[in-house]
């Protein structure tokens, strides 16, 4: 059943969108969404293919940061996990009893590829140079999409523009919002480990290097909205080390640290705070220990962080600890493609790496400590850590491995 033209005009004209999914409403400013209202461009509604076990709801919004407030509950008990855009974990296993409601709120960053048009005769471009894999991505479109999974019980969704500090992520496949199961990365798990007054804007993409992140205008896109007291987390290395990629190879002693300093300087010029992150290791064991596959690159990051007085998240060290605790066989359960992929993670591995990142944020960056959820401020890798890795899988699935290795 289609909504009336008046109802659609009301929702799109307001700066705040208030949708009731479970029952009609007569409250001014709220819109009742019919169960079979399909999303059409520029409006709102359910994405095709949903079921009682999972569905996607979208609303057209301009670029920006939005506070999403969800009232969970219904006639039956439920347990709802919420992801935003391309599988960013926002709320995990929200339990509701029959005929009872629970409210949760979080921030979502929405963007498209467009850039401010350069002045006449100036170099640059008017849009980020997206890859073929990003053509239909929920990350780069003109709407905010929410995915509800598990035994979802959703009574209402309120969406309103918000102003908040932003953590921007620049990196590769081990950081990005992987669009489809079973691959996942730590960047898309991080939002669920932070408080609802800060937002993660994940600009990382599979296959990226420091050089390509600039040439494809991804850094330019970040810099177009980066503001004072935002944060820029920088993690590259897996692809920068590839001498077989001559256009983007960066020597760990010379060009690699030089490009890291470019990202740092651009952030500081805008009053933002740069943070360096060492890349997680690949899962290759030798005599029970993780073999070094990244050469001099982690040490180069550590050296630049010290010389530039930049906070360091040593994920390379933490990843080694996590894999070695579980051993060669147990650690396979953290990786994409049933463990055959030794570089890219699944939900379990991405979650544990995000736990390590969140704990180091709380320890190494005092001004961000209060933005880390209290239960996520400490993390010690041990065998029991696997008990917390059961994250509801999304419906989107792909056999294609992420770019890079």
Q: How confident is the model at residue 24 (pLDDT cuts 50, 70, 90)?
A: low
Residues of the chain with CATH 2.60.120.430: 1-163
50 band by pLDDT with thresholds 50, 70 and 90: confident
Q: What is the pTM of this model?
A: 0.94
By mean pLDDT, which of 163-167, 306-310, 398-402 is the weakest? 398-402
List, as own/partner pairs, every contact residues 319-324 make where C-beta atoms lie below 8 angstroms and the sequence separation is at least 24, other chains included.
319/280, 319/281, 319/290, 319/353, 319/356, 320/281, 320/289, 320/290, 321/381, 322/352, 322/353, 322/356, 322/381, 322/385, 323/281, 323/283, 323/285, 323/290, 324/288, 324/289, 324/290
Mean pLDDT of 64-92: 97
Give the residue range(s) of CATH 3.40.50.1110 domains in the chain.
Answer: 164-405
pLDDT in tens, 239-264: 999 999 999 999 999 999 999 999 99
Q: Phi-psi category of 246—alpha, beta or left, where left has phi over 0 and alpha has psi -120 to 50?
A: alpha
What backbone torsions phi and psi does residue 334 show, to the nearest 5 degrees? -100, 0
Sheet holding 199-202, edge to edge: 199-202, 166-171, 231-235, 273-277, 312-313
The fold for domain 164-405 equals Rossmann fold (3.40.50)
Query: Taking a C-beta distance cutoff of 8 angstroms, is the pair 282, 343 a contact?
Result: yes
Query: What's the fold here for domain 1-163?
Result: Jelly Rolls (2.60.120)
Residue 19 in this model has a pLDDT that exceeds 80: yes
Residue 96 phi, psi dihedral angles, 5° rounding? -130, 140
pLDDT band, residue 3 (cuts 50/70/90):
very low
Of residues 279 and 49, more confidently modeled: 279
- Please say if the pLDDT value at position 404 is more than 90: no
């Amino acid at each position: 059943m289609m909504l009336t033209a008046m109802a659609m005009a009301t929702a799109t004209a307001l700066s705040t969108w208030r949708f009731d999914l479970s029952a009609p409403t007569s409250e001014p400013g709220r819109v009742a969404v019919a169960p079979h209202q399909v999303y059409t461009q520029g409006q709102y509604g359910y994405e095709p293919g949903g079921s009682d076990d999972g569905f996607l709801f979208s609303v057209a919004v301009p670029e920006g940061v939005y506070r999403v407030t969800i009232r969970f509950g219904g006639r039956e008990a439920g347990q709802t996990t919420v992801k935003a855009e391309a599988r960013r974990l926002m709320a995990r296993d929200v339990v509701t009893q029959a005929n009872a409601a629970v409210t949760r709120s979080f921030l979502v960053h929405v963007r498209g590829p467009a850039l401010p048009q350069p002045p006449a005769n100036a170099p640059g471009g008017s849009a980020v140079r997206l890859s073929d894999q990003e053509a239909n991505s929920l990350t780069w479109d003109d709407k905010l999409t929410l995915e509800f999974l598990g035994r979802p019980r959703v009574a209402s969704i309120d969406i309103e523009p918000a102003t908040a500090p932003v953590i921007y992520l620049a990196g590769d496949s081990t950081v990005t919002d992987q669009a489809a199961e079973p691959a996942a990365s730590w960047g898309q798990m991080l939002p669920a480990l932070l408080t609802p007054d800060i937002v993660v804007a994940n600009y990382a993409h599979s296959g990226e290097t420091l050089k390509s992140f600039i040439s494809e205008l991804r850094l330019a896109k970040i810099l177009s909205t980066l503001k004072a007291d935002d944060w820029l987390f920088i993690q590259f290395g897996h692809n920068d080390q590839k001498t077989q990629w001559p256009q983007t190879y960066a020597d760990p002693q010379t060009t690699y640290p030089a490009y890291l300093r470019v990202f740092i300087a651009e952030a500081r010029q805008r009053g933002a705070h740069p943070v360096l992150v060492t890349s997680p290791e690949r899962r290759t064991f030798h005599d029970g220990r993780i073999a070094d596959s990244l050469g001099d690159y982690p040490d180069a990051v550590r050296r630049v962080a010290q010389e530039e007085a930049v906070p360091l998240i040593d994920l390379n060290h933490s990843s080694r600890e996590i894999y070695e605790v579980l051993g060669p066989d147990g650690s396979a359960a953290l990786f994409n493609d049933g463990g055959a992929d030794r570089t890219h993670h699944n939900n379990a591995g991405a979650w544990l790496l995000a736990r390590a990142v969140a704990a180091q944020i709380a320890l190494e960056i005092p001004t961000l400590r209060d933005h880390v959820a209290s239960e996520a401020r400490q993390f010690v890798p041990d065998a029991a850590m696997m008990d917390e890795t059961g994250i509801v899988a999304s419906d989107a699935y792909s056999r294609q491995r992420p770019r890079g290795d």
